[in-house]
């Protein structure tokens, strides 16, 4: 049976229409959303109830008590109901990540792994308490923004990333968590099972995910190395003078070296599908990343597999999100045809 799809909009208590930007399945079997409104500076969280969305309070969350105070002195950029929020301070000099009570210490400790290559500037922790971590802002723009803009800055930005990433697999970074093929397979299967009821081709989607999961686990895995684990063009900043910056390293783990590069390659294709990156640019960037993979001895077969796993996961994630659902369905059909 097909599950209810997240609607494109939601009405608030003043009968204003909010645009639903993102959505996530939760552990209770429901869906939480993030919405924006042109007249409000804050993103707003909500939850699917039946076939409609109920928006939560603006700039507040009962499970994230620190959000209300942070929102008064900044702009809520990200709000995932009951889980986390990101607030940019009004002067733009710092960002505060708000999490559930007791989780901030781990977030602060994992955000700058010791031994990460010096070519990447990491956001400095300015202060932390039980519910939040305040980070210094990094200079530059994301590679996603640069890739969509006019001009040739994207060439220098992506070349810098491709060259610098060659140092990551061999870095003496102090990362304790392991994310091997079994865990990557489990992530893919979980997303496939959650996304399958949202549209047609559910049996084919599940079969494809199972085949890829088997290949991940049955193939010859390469030794685990330091990895970001959620690397895409929205996580990397570039500034002509200050170089590269890297966001959200709290996801870092030891993983196959193909994982990050495969995720980058899959996101290149995804940006082209979204209209945010020209195909010719994507092709040139792909060549840069493939040279990096060869330089660090990534098994070409594991790289191709990592890209396919990432592409199917992207299709599943965006099946939940109204703005990108149509592109996700086209991506899914292409992946099922492989």
Give the mean model confidence (pLDDT) for residues 116-130.
Answer: 95
Give the mean model confidence (pLDDT) for residues 71-95.
Answer: 97
User: Does 1 score more than 70 pLDDT?
Assistant: no
> Across the chain, what does the average pLDDT equal?
96
Using DSSP bridges, classify how beta strands 120-122 and 243-246 pair: parallel, antiparallel or unpaired.
parallel
User: Does 74 score more than 90 pLDDT?
Assistant: yes
Whether residue 137 contacts residue 123, with contact meaning beta carbons closer than 8 Å, is answered with: yes
Q: Where is 128: in which H helix or E strand? A: strand 125-128
What ranges do the domains of the chain cover?
Answer: 1-100
Q: Which residue has the tokens 């559910």?
A: 202
d(CA 124, CA 146): 23
User: Does 3 score more than 80 pLDDT?
Assistant: no
What are 74's two structure tokens?
């900044």
pLDDT the model gives residue 2 = 56
d(CA 113, CA 219): 30
Q: Is 120 exposed, middle or buried (0-12, 13-18, 19+ CB in 10 A)?
A: buried
User: Does 110 score more than 50 pLDDT?
Assistant: yes
pLDDT the model gives residue 36 = 99
Lowest mean pLDDT among 53-67, 102-116, 290-304: 102-116
User: What phi, psi does 98 have (nearest 5°)?
Assistant: -105, 130
- Note the pLDDT tens digit of each residue in 257-316: 999 999 999 999 999 999 999 999 999 999 999 999 999 999 999 999 999 999 999 999
How many CB atoms are located within 10 Å of the residue 240 CB?
11
d(CA 285, CA 301): 19
């Amino acid at each position: 049976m097909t599950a209810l799809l997240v609607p494109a909009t939601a009405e608030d208590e003043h009968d204003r229409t909010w645009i639903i930007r993102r959505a996530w399945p939760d552990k209770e079997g429901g869906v939480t959303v993030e919405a924006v409104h042109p007249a409000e500076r804050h993103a707003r969280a909500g939850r699917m109830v039946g076939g409609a969305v109920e928006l939560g309070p603006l700039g507040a969350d009962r499970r994230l008590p620190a959000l209300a105070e942070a929102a008064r002195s900044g702009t809520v950029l990200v709000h995932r109901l009951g889980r986390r929020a990101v607030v940019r301070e009004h002067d733009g000099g710092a960002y505060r990540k708000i999490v559930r009570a007791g989780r901030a210490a781990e977030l602060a400790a994992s955000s700058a792994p010791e031994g990460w290559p010096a070519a990447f500037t990491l956001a400095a922790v300015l202060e932390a308490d039980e519910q939040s971590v305040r980070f210094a802002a990094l200079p530059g723009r994301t590679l996603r923004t640069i890739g969509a803009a006019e001009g040739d800055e994207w060439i220098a930005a992506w070349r810098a990333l491709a060259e610098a990433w060659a140092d990551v697999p061999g870095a003496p970074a102090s990362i304790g968590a392991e994310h091997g093929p079994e865990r990557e397979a489990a992530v893919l299967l979980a997303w496939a099972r959650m996304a399958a009821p949202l549209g047609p081709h559910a049996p084919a989607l599940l079969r494809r995910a199972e085949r890829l999961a088997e290949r991940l686990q049955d193939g010859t895995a390469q030794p685990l190395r330091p990895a970001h684990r959620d690397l895409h063009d929205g996580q990397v900043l570039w500034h002509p003078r200050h170089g590269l910056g890297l966001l959200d390293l709290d996801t870092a783990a030891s993983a196959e070296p193909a994982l990050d590069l495969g995720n980058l390659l899959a996101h290149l294709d995804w940006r082209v599908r979204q209209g945010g990156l020209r195909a010719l640019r994507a092709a040139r960037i792909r060549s840069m990343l493939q040279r990096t993979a060869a330089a660090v001895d990534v098994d070409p077969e594991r790289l191709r597999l990592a890209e396919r796993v990432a592409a199917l996961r992207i299709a599943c994630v965006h099946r939940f999100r109204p703005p990108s659902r149509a592109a996700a369905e086209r991506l899914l059909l292409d992946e099922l045809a492989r």
